[in-house]
Chains A and B, each alone.
Chain A
Amino acid sequence: MRRITFLCGHYGSGKSEIAVNLAIDCGIDYLVDLDVINPYFRSRSVHERLAAEGVTLVESSIEKAPNSDLPVISAKGAVPFHDKSLSAIYDLGGTREGAKLVQQYRHLFAADDAVDFLVVVNVFRPETTDAEKIHHLIDTLETAADLKATGLINNSNLIKETRAEHIEKGEGVLTEVASARNIPIRYTFHEESVPLKGTFSGETRLLRRYLAKKWL
């Protein structure tokens, strides 16, 4: 992973869950939750676990009042741009407005900085079922963020009904998108209960569900 990763994707693509998984599994220093739109299933619900893993969580709630939201982004979110020894993941809201929040940091990194802008895609979300729709989404997010996507993450799933062929379908659609944009599929995520079949162009990673309720 590059030192700084912006994670973007249509809402409901699983990007917050992936942000938490990557932060924990890759020993990331900072997880900055810029998704101030969603009221539920936020990374703050696992703040204790993140702290235990040595991940500093920056988000928009008032300390000790997790359901209070302020429409502000803590200045702590900029720390990894000043202290270059830190790695960070930025979890962006899944809309044009969400992606715009990247721009506040734009002056802090040079073009040659190690910054990734990864787009999470689940091809079973109605807005990202085919290459054309995904290109449209990426174009929108790139324009809003003023940053080019550097890779894709295949998170194609139907939650508990996911089978290996669903993830393969995602690989097929995303391969088409990746080659047209000349960017790689960086990761393919799957849960332990769904062993992968076939070959995947990106690194395959296990997804643990930290944010969803177990009984759901």
Chain B
Amino acid sequence: MAKVLMKGNEAMALAAIEGGCDAFFGYPITPQNEIPEYLSRHMGEKGRVFVQAESEVAAINMVYGAAGAGARALTSSSSPGIALKQEGISYIAGSELPCVIINVMRGGPGLGGIQPSQADYNQVTKGGGNGDYHLLAFAPENLQETVNIIKESFDLADYYRNPVIIAVDGLLGQMMEPVDLEAAPKTEDAKEKKWAADGNSDREGGRNVITSIHLDPLELEQHNLKLKKKYDEMRAKEQRYEMIETDDADIVFVAYGSMARIARSAVKTLREEGIKVGMIRPVTIWPFPEKAFDELSKSVKTLLTLEMSLGQMHEDVRAANNGRFQLDFYGRTGGVVPEPEEIIDHVKRMLEKEGSS
């Protein structure tokens, strides 16, 4: 297929279909409505399932059921809607079921607003639900990368038997960009899910049960340790990031999603003015790409975290930095999307302060 011009939400929906999504369950919320809208038109054509549930809570529990039966299940929502789904997500992770969740983030807290935001970083990476669990969390910066990751995410969810979440800010959901669906990696066909509660009680080993309840503390501890092994494997294998002009940089930005695009533009302008800046762009936000920080040269002076939130990722940057470099932060929140000039001005103020001290 040649390149087509698509809106982010449509492209994500199409990528899910191409990734082998069998069933979608969702409830409308701006700014992600084109995802269910697109799927409502196209899932049926392919003989797949589309349900507009009566609420977010119902939708995530339908995902739980479909995933338990062995289907490749998807839900999508935006920030407050994802908050409503947290209980179900915790159950899905606890029951070791694969599913894919798309979060098109808007301003918060509470009902917040409908403009783009990255203030769900904590919700996405630290889990809003209870218990020792993690989601494999991606935060792509353009539509081609988003499409590639969504296609791959169904394989990853199946491999780890764990939910995968793709968090993009509303801008990526609403913007138009050329995408090539065939440029995305080839998706594997879902392998037989021997654990699925699919009604087949004749199989060897008997009936399958999907549950997250383990009333014996020692048994639950063993279950948690088993989950931890998966999270350790994700930490070892799935940290993804991009290093941009970091080799000789004095100041290194840390930014993801749309903020990374804005920061790229600032890197280009500042480099043209002879100011040595670079960027670490996390592609996974859980596991956080700590390895990227080990690649930085000792000549780096300051890490500048840039977010469309008031510094949620900055805490992970602080931990990954582990005292090595000076830290600084610049962010806008509430649905305000900064312009590259604001970052450029912030860097110049940093340099002035440094010069005067």
Q: Which residues of A contact B (CB under 8 A)?
A: 11-12, 38-41, 67, 122, 124-126, 129, 157-159, 161, 212-216
> Measured between alpha carbons, how far is A214 from B268 in the docked complex, in Å?
14
Give complex CA distance A41, B177 in Å.
Answer: 14
Contacts of B6 in A (CB 8 A): 12, 125-126
Q: List 9 A-B contacts (CB under 8 A).
A: A40-B174, A67-B114, A124-B3, A125-B4, A125-B5, A125-B6, A161-B178, A215-B261, A216-B175
Chain B residues in 8 Å Cβ range of A41:
174-175
C-alpha spacing A159/B8, complex, angstroms: 14
Find the A residue at minimum CB distance from B264: A215
Cross-chain contact A157 with B4 (CB below 8 angstroms): no
A67-B115, A215-B265 are known contacts. Are A39 and B177 too (CB-CB below 8 A)? no
1/0 per residue, CB under 8 A from A, across B24-41: the answer is 000000110000000000
Interface presence of B318 (CB below 8 A) = no
CA–CA, A216 and B339, complex, Å: 11
- B311 within 8 Å of A (CB atoms): no
Q: A40-B174, A216-B261 are in contact. List 14 more A-B contacts (CB 8 A).
A: A11-B7, A12-B10, A39-B31, A40-B31, A40-B115, A41-B175, A67-B113, A124-B4, A125-B6, A126-B14, A158-B178, A159-B176, A159-B177, A215-B340
Interface centre among B31, B178, B265 (most CB of A within 10 A): B178
Say if the beta carbon of B282 comes within 8 Å of chain A. Answer: no
How would residues 171 to 215 of chain B score, 1 for a CB under 8 Å from any chain A CB and 0 otherwise?
100111110000000000000000000000000000000000000
Residues of the A chain whose Cβ atoms lie less than 8 Å from the Cβ of B175 = 40-41, 212, 216
The 5 closest A-B pairs by CB, nearest first: A40-B174, A215-B265, A158-B178, A124-B5, A126-B4
Q: CA–CA, A38 to B31, complex, Å?
A: 9
A122 and B261 contact, Cβ closer than 8 Å, known pairs A39-B31, A159-B176, A161-B178 = no
Q: How large is the interface on B (under 10, 10 to 19, 20 to 34, 35 or more residues)?
A: 20 to 34
B98 on the interface (CB 8 Å rule)?
A: no
Per the bound structure, the CA–CA distance linking A67 and B30 in Å amounts to: 12
* Min CB gap A60→B, angstroms: 14
A158: min CB distance to chain B, Å: 4
- Pair A40/B3 contact, Cβ less than 8 Å: no
Of A41, A159, A212, A216, chain B has the most CB atoms within 10 Å of the CB of A216
Contact present for B170 and A122 (CB under 8 Å): no
- In the bound complex, residues from chain B placing their C-beta under 8 Å from that of A126 are 4, 6, 10, 14
CB pair B178–A159 under 8 Å, yes or no, is yes
* Contact mask for chain B residues 244-275; partner A; CB cutoff 8 A; 1 contact, 0 none: 00000000000000000110110000000000
B283: min CB distance to chain A, Å:
19
Q: For A40, A41, A129, which residue has the most chain B Cβ atoms within 10 angstroms? A: A40
- Chain A residues lying within 8 Å of B171, measured Cβ to Cβ, are 40, 213
Of the residues A39, A122, A213, contact of B30 by C-beta under 8 Å = A39
The answer to whether B174 touches A38, judged by C-beta atoms less than 8 angstroms apart, is: yes
A158 engages B30 (CB within 8 Å): no
Bound-state Cα–Cα, A94 to B335, Å: 25
